[in-house]
Amino acid sequence: MKPSSSWIPNDDDEIISELLKEIGLEELFHLFKDIPKSLLLKRRLNVGLGKSLSEAEAYDYTVKTLKKNVVPRISFLGGGVWNHYVPAVVKEILSRGEFYTSYTPYQPEASQGLSQALFEYQSMIAALTGMDVVNASMYDWSTALAEAVLMAVRVTRRKKVLIPQTMNPIHFKVLKTITEPKDVKPEKVSFDRTTGQINLTDLRKKLDSETAAVYIENPSFLGFIEAQVDEIGSLTHEKGALFIVGVEPLSLGILRPPGDYGADIVVGEGQPLGLGMNFGGPLLGIFAVKWDLKLIRQMPGRIFGVTRTVSGQDRGFIMVLQTREQHIRRERATSNICTNEALCALAAAVYLSLLGPQGLRELAENILYKTNYLMRKINEVDGVEAPLFNAAHFKEFTVRFETKSVQDVNRKLLEKGIHGGLPLGNFMPEYQDAALYSVTEVLRKEDLDFFLRVLREIMEG
C-alpha cells in the first residue's frame, strides 16, 4: 500500500483499516473511548485554505494568522511565569550546535562542555540558595516540590506534609496529583488574614511525629515575604521533619538565602533566570539540599561533579551518584522524571554569569522599588486597595477592586494596550474581587504611570 502523504505515512483509510484490524478494533474512535464524546472532533480539521499549500503559501498564511495575536507591551501577569528581560547573549549561546539539545550527557568523554556548564549552573544555584548540593534541573517549580515531598517521605518514613494555605494553587494541584498514589497527605496550615504570615499556632497544632515535611513559599504566591522563617524552621526540626522552602531566585539578590534559616530542601522556578515566557514553558525546576548523605542519596535528577582523568593530570566533569537514577535502577529510582531541562539550566547559568552577584542585587532592588512604587500609587486611586496584606512584598502583590469586577477592569485595560493582573477568583474563591499584579524590570516608570492614569479613568467611569 502506498501512503497518501509522504509527511504522514499512515494517513490513508486503507492503511488505517488494516492497523485497526490488527489490534482488534472496528473504527478509529474506539481508540479514544475514554475521552468524553462531547470533546471528540468527528471531522477533519479545517486547516489552511482547504487545499494543499506550497511552502511559500503556508508561510504567508501562518504569518497572517499570527498577526491576529495581541501582545500588550505593558503586562502585569505573573503567578508562576513572569515577563523578564532575556539578554541576547543567552539565546546566542543556547543556539550553539554543541549545546542545543536536551539530551543527557551520558558520555562524559564526548560532553565535557555541557557537563562543565551544568556543573557551573549547580555551583551558582548553590551559592544563590545557600545550599550545598544542587541537581541539574527538574521540569518546573511544581514538579520539584512534588519530588521534594516524596524525597522527605522516603527519608523520614512518614506520610504527612504541611503546606501553606496561600501556596500557589497550581503547584498544589501538581503536588496532589503526584503524591496521592503514594498515600501522602498534604495538609494546609492557615494564615493571618492581616499579614498573610503562616499561623504559627495552627502550625504547632498540626505539626507532630507523623509529619515528614513542612513547606513554605518565600516570597509567597501572593507576593508577601514570610517573616517567620526562623521560627518555622525550628518548629519543623523539633519534630524531626524536613524543612522545604520554595523560592523565586531573583528575590535572593536581596533576601536571606534559605540555607541561612535552616532549609533542608530548596525548590523554585528558574524561569526568571534567562528564560522567556514561551506561552508557559519550558520552565526550569530548581532543586537543592544541604550536605547530608541521607538527603543526597535520595535526590532526584542528574547531579554533575568534578573529578580527575585517569592520568591524574586533567580535571573532568561527570554525572555522579548515577545509581539513584532510572537509567540504572528503573524500579527503585529516586525519580521517574526522565527528560531533563538541561538547555534551560544552561540558560540560567549564562544569565547568572552575565549578571554576577552585584548585577543580581541591582536587578532585585529595581524590582523591589517598582513593586513598592506601584503599590503605594494604586492606593491613591479611589475604589482600589493594594496590597491586601500588611507585609513586605517582592515582585507581586494583591489588588482589590471595590466598585468594579476584576474582569471588567482587565477588559478595559486591554482596550488601552495593558494586560491586567491575574484574577485570583479563578484559584481562590474568597478573593473574587482581587487580582495578582506582577512588576518586573521590563516595566519602566512611565509604563507604571500610564497604567495608573488608565486605572483611575476606569474606576471613575
Closest CA to 163 of 147, 144, 186: 186
Q: Evaluate whether 289 touches 265 at the Cβ level (below 8 Å).
A: yes
Task: Identify whether 418 is part of a domain.
Answer: yes
Residue 1 lies in a domain: no
| pLDDT, average across residues 100-121 | 83
- Domain limits at 35? 13-53
Given a cut of 90, whether residue 374 has pLDDT beyond it is: yes
Contact between 335 and 326 (Cβ < 8 Å):
yes
Residue 65 lies in a domain: no
Query: What is the spatial distance between Cα 377 and Cα 375, in angstroms, rounded to a whole number?
Result: 6
Query: How many Å apart are CA 459 and CA 59, to the nearest integer?
Result: 44
User: Domain holding 427: CATH number?
Assistant: 3.90.1150.10
Q: Does residue 282 sit within a domain? A: yes
- Which cell goes with 161? 506534609
337 and 364: one domain? Answer: no
The pLDDT value recorded for residue 37 is 85
Q: Are 172 and 311 in a shared domain?
A: yes
The DSSP annotation for 311-341 comes to TSSSEEEEE--GGGSTTT-TTT-S----S--
Q: Are 346 and 363 in a shared domain?
A: no
- Asked whether residue 18 falls in the same domain as residue 141, the answer is no
| pTM for the structure as a whole | 0.87
Write down the pLDDT at residue 313: 82
Q: Is residue 59 part of a domain?
A: no
Q: How many helices (H) does the chain have, and how many strands (E)?
A: 12, 15
The alpha carbon of 42 is separated from its chain's Cα centroid by a whole number of angstroms, namely: 36
In a domain, 5, yes or no: no
Residue 184's Cα: distance from chain center in Å? 22
> What values do phi and psi take at 245, rounded to 5?
-120, 130
Question: Residues 329, 253: one domain?
Answer: yes
pLDDT of residue 1 exceeding 50, the answer is no
**Cell 554569569, located at residue:** 353
Q: Is residue 112 part of a domain?
A: yes
The residue-averaged pLDDT of 190-198 equals: 96
Q: pLDDT, tens digit, for every residue of 14-63? A: 888 888 999 999 887 788 888 998 888 877 777 667 777 889 988 998 99
Residue 9's pLDDT is 66
Q: Which of 249-263, 303-317, 386-400 has the lowest mean pLDDT?
A: 303-317
Do residues 278 and 374 share a domain? no
Domain count along the chain = 3
Tell whether 296 and 443 lie within a shared domain. Answer: no
Mean pLDDT of the chain: 91
- Residue appearing with cell numbers 518555622: 232
Confidence bin at 168 (pLDDT 50/70/90): very high
d(CA 109, CA 316): 9
Residue 310: predicted pLDDT: 81
19 and 122 assigned to the same domain? no
436/422 Cα distance (integer angstroms): 5
Q: Residue 106: its pLDDT value, please?
A: 75
Question: The CATH number of the domain where 292 resides is what?
Answer: 3.40.640.10
Question: Is 160 found in the same domain as 27?
Answer: no
Neighbouring-strand partners of residue 401? 384
Question: Whole-angstrom Cα distance, residue 120 to residue 123?
Answer: 5
Q: Check whether 2 has a pLDDT greater than 70.
A: no
Phi, psi (5° rounding) for residue 274?
Answer: 90, 15
Confidence grade of residue 339 (pLDDT, cut at 50, 70, 90): low
Q: How far apart are CA 282 and CA 269, in angstroms?
A: 11
Q: Which of 18-32, 74-88, 169-183, 200-214 has the lowest mean pLDDT?
A: 18-32
Which residues, listed in sequence order, are joined to residue 188 by a DSSP beta bridge?
163
Q: 278 and 186 in one domain?
A: yes
* End-of-domain residue from the set 302, 317, 351: 351
126 and 79 housed in the same domain: no
For residue 288, being part of any structural domain is answered with yes
**Cis status of the peptide bond prior to 282, with omega within 30 of 0:** yes
Q: Which three cell numbers stand for residue 37?
A: 464524546
Last residue of a domain, one of 322, 351, 380: 351
Last residue of a domain, one of 315, 332, 351: 351
Percent composition of the chain: helix, strand, coil (DSSP 3-state, to 5): 40, 15, 45
Whether residue 374 sits in one domain with residue 286:
no
C-alpha cell at 344: 534551560
Share of the chain above pLDDT 90, in %: 71
| Predicted confidence (pLDDT) at residue 237 exceeds the cutoff of 50 | yes
pLDDT of residue 51: 75
Cα 17 to chain center, whole Å?
A: 43
Query: Which position has the higher pLDDT, 309 or 444?
Result: 444
